[in-house]
Amino acid sequence: MHLAIFLWGFTGLLGKLIQLNEGVLVWYRMLISALAVALILVYRKKIPRLPLRELAYISGIGILVMLHWVAFYASIKLASISIAMVCLSSIALFVSFIEPLVYREKFDYMEILFSAMAVVGITTIYRSDPTASAGIIVGILSALFSAIFSTLNKGIATKHEPLTISLVELSSGFIFLTLLFPIYMMFQPTENFIPGQMDWVYLMILSLVCTVLTWVLSLEALQKVSAYTVALALNLEPVYGIILAVLFAGEGKILNAGFYYGAGIILLTIVVHTVYKFRAKIKSRILS
């Protein structure tokens, strides 16, 4: 899971480097990724066959993935890589509410408390830079979509092979975005549809390494851990992403003290939650 998270840390930087608007960028990402997964399945002679109901369910999750990606890259364009990455920390808050509702489990109020601490961090960042408000709002919306599809993926991760799930989700997201383009372009017009030479290089890395490989790794992880644990571990993604943004995108010059205070609160949340989960695991072993 952490290998996948580390690789996801590069998605923000790559999104900044690719000179396409968020909708076109996601369109190419889903197309290339879906084709790569399809080729792997054909080579392995494992063409997926799913009941219509399962196909429709997984396709719906794929649409949520597409919406998450579009909102995430829109947040980068509206604000910065660092802002967009930090907003992803609210995924754990959304999952702490969504997962118990979907799977009819009891709420863990300690996990909700940890998630609320992450929101405090995001709020601190929001108040420190009013010009980034639009990017923050869209970034939080991106986190909500991510929380929903992560929770729903948990329910199918053990039923089907990860590559099968990936193919259906990527294909459905690509098809839906293609159908949505006429409306989308009314609000986000662009004349740049063809990637440049370096754009193709970055798109291939984004699609093959940061999408296909990480998708398989994350779905494998979901077979063994809860969606909430994955979501809170994903708080490390902004840490990796911000470090990369500072090192390679020069964002260290635009980040103020409020941003670092907020990011510090989020990092503290991750550490404290890790200790909490470790103690809970030890306690359960003793009682058993």
- Predicted confidence (pLDDT) per residue in 144-188, tens digit: 999 999 899 888 877 888 889 999 999 999 999 999 999 988 888
Fill in the DSSP letter of residue 253: G
* Tens-digit pLDDT profile for residues 74-115: 999 999 998 898 888 788 778 888 988 888 888 878 878 887
pLDDT at 270: 72
Residue 222 Cα distances to 132, 152, 157, 158, 281, angstroms: 33, 11, 6, 8, 18
pLDDT at 84: 92
- Residues listed for the chain: 288
Instruction: Report the candidate in 165, 275, 280, 256 with the shortest Cα–Cα distance to residue 217.
Output: 165
* Tens-digit pLDDT profile for residues 239-263: 788 889 988 988 887 778 888 888 7
pTM of the predicted protein model: 0.88
The residue that leads in pLDDT, 252 or 198, is: 198
The contacts of residue 163 (CB under 8 Å, 6+ apart) are 37, 40, 41, 46, 216
Instruction: Report the candidate in 98, 96, 88 with the shortest Cα–Cα distance to residue 135.
Output: 88
Q: What residue ranges do the domains of the chain occupy?
A: 2-287
Q: What percent of the chain has pLDDT over 70?
A: 95
Instruction: Report the candidate in 148, 144, 146, 156 with the shortest Cα–Cα distance to residue 219.
Output: 156
What span, in angstroms and rounded, lies between the C-alpha atoms of 270 and 91? 13
| Average pLDDT score over residue span 51-66 | 95
| Average pLDDT score over residue span 19-35 | 96
Distance of CA 82 to the CA centre of its chain: 14
pLDDT at 173: 97
pLDDT exceeds 90 at position 132: no
pLDDT exceeds 80 at position 274: no
